Copies of this chain bind each other. A is one copy, B any other.
Amino acid sequence: MASSHRSEMIVRQDSPANLEFPFETLSDRLTPPGQFYVRSHFPVPELSAADWRLDISGLTRQPLSLTLADLHAMVSHTVTVTLECAGNNRSFLTPKVDGVAWDLGAVSTAEWTGVPLSAVLERAGLQAGVQEVVLCGADRGCLYEPVKTPGIIAYERSVPLQKARSDVLLAYAMNGQPLTAQHGFPLRAIVPGWYGMASVKWLRGIHLTDTPFQGFFQTLDYSYWEQSGPLSPQMTPLSAMQVKAQIARPAAGETVAAGQPYSVTGAAWTGEAEITGVEVSTDGGLTWAEAELTDPPEAHVWRRWQYLWQAPNTPGQVTLLARATDSAGCTQPSEHAPGRGKYMITFPLPVTVLLE
């Protein structure tokens, strides 16, 4: 599939593929097939459906090895989920930081079909004391920049047992079609409400542990510094997505007709709550007006929104901003907290347009 659509994506890195959804083309609730953003750390592993197995190991009552047919034979679930890369909007940070320079499009929405992780865990049985479920990808390799991996490592991330049991899906289909190679064929995790790094692709194993997992992608990568209590900040794995609104149109640099109405559109999403409101500023943040949410609320899915802007008569530059609020009462910070490093960039992003 990639070949026919890849030209419509923004290529941030060719190999491994890191491809961005052109967010200004946002129209449907589901991102068009072939335009869902792609985040890869290593080359796509070559897996054959016939030989592939999912091994459930660690603190199980019995080790389990499932074929794709075994998974297809289990009761399937279909959910719509928005995934956002934790580094989305990184190109807006100053000074520049390491990592893929994502603009607006490391976020997309799809319909995922598969088996709840809870059903697989129930089949394996859990020993007492399980704290975390490590999702093990078949993709592996060495990284040298910005930090060096300890030799060849695999892509592995954990989720707490409670999250694993509540709504994590082991998905074999995306928008009604088998997963493509770039999106994790034959099986990937979908961790609703969490940044994309938890939704491990090319799953080969599920490992149950009684201690917090401390792999490379859980510590040196995909973590931030969280300050709480009287201690200095602590290294904390990224987890739930933070509330955010993005403007799709107008795009930055677009020319807008002075004195005419313009429908400002975009989408807003959050982690474990619901988007309850989006505000737009057309004067660089001095005043804010309520936008209209055009999608109904649905857990773990973005809500599109629109705001009818009466563009002023005076030609010149105008900066638009959007910010969202969720049902947990969270809104966007005005600045990027240094402890977040190159992740969780959620301050309102300026979109500067030209009135003519």
- A354 within 8 A of partner (CB): no
Within A207-241, the residues touching B (CB, 8 Å) are 207, 211-216, 219-220, 225, 229-236
By the criterion CB–CB under 8 Å, are A150 and B339 in contact?
yes
By the criterion CB–CB under 8 Å, are B230 and A205 in contact?
yes
By the criterion CB–CB under 8 Å, are A153 and B235 in contact?
no
How many positions in chain A have a CB within 8 Å of any CB in the partner chain? 31
By the criterion CB–CB under 8 Å, are A151 and B339 in contact?
yes
Residues on B with beta carbons closer than 8 Å to the beta carbon of A154: 231-232
By the criterion CB–CB under 8 Å, are A214 and B230 in contact?
no
By the criterion CB–CB under 8 Å, are A232 and B156 in contact?
yes
Expressed in whole angstroms, the Cα–Cα distance for A86 and B245 within the complex equals 47
Contact of A220 among B136, B151, B215, B235 (CB under 8 A): B235
Residues on B with beta carbons closer than 8 Å to the beta carbon of A205: 230
Residues on B with beta carbons closer than 8 Å to the beta carbon of A229: 58, 207
- Complex copy number for this chain: 2
- A38 within 8 A of partner (CB): no
By the criterion CB–CB under 8 Å, are A150 and B231 in contact?
no
Contact of A233 among B57, B153, B234, B338 (CB under 8 A): B153
By the criterion CB–CB under 8 Å, are A232 and B153 in contact?
yes
- A170 within 8 A of partner (CB): no
Contacts known (A219-B235, A220-B235, A236-B214); A150 close to B338, Cβ less than 8 A: yes
Residues on B with beta carbons closer than 8 Å to the beta carbon of A110: none
Expressed in whole angstroms, the Cα–Cα distance for A234 and B220 within the complex equals 10
- A134 within 8 A of partner (CB): yes
Nearest-CB distance from A337 to chain B (Å)? 9
Known pairs A150-B225, A150-B233, A215-B233. 11 more at Cβ < 8 A? A134-B231, A136-B230, A150-B338, A151-B338, A154-B232, A207-B229, A211-B212, A213-B234, A214-B235, A215-B232, A215-B234
Q: List 12 A-B contacts (CB under 8 A).
A: A58-B229, A136-B230, A151-B338, A153-B232, A154-B231, A154-B232, A205-B230, A207-B231, A215-B235, A216-B232, A216-B233, A219-B235
